[in-house]
Amino acid sequence: MSRLAGVEIVADAGPGDAMDLAMELVRVIESTGFVAERRAEGFALMPAGVNVPTHLRIGLFGSMVTVWVRGAYDLPQSAEKLGVTPEELFEALMLGARRAAEAVGRLPGGSIRVRVP
């Protein structure tokens, strides 16, 4: 679970491009089985579209876009609600995070920090 809490992806999309990058990250993460819901700071990406405490978040802050795992320490409860093992949910979250990191890594010099333990 602490590995989930260590997921940190931060990118400077440049002036006016943060929403475009966020939408690309939504597309990439949704392709791994998550469903995006709009939030004030960006998006919550729920595993299989089920609202659980442990999920991926995309935040937009000016030209900055960040991805993190919300509720990392609630993994057992979230897995139970989804009807999967904590290990299965962990792997799904890490897959989504890795795909997001790959997408940010393709930016021309826009990545500030990518840490997916």
Res 77: pLDDT: 97
SS3 67: strand
Q: What domains sit in the chain, N to C, each tagged with a CATH number?
A: 2-115 (3.30.310)
Q: Which two tokens stand for residue 43?
A: 């998006």
The pTM is what? 0.93
Q: For residue 19, report the phi and psi dihedrals to the nearest 5 degrees.
A: -65, -40
The enclosing H or E element of 38 equals strand 34-39
Q: Which two tokens stand for residue 36?
A: 């995006």
> Per residue in 13-26, pLDDT tens?
887 899 999 999 99
Res 112: pLDDT: 80
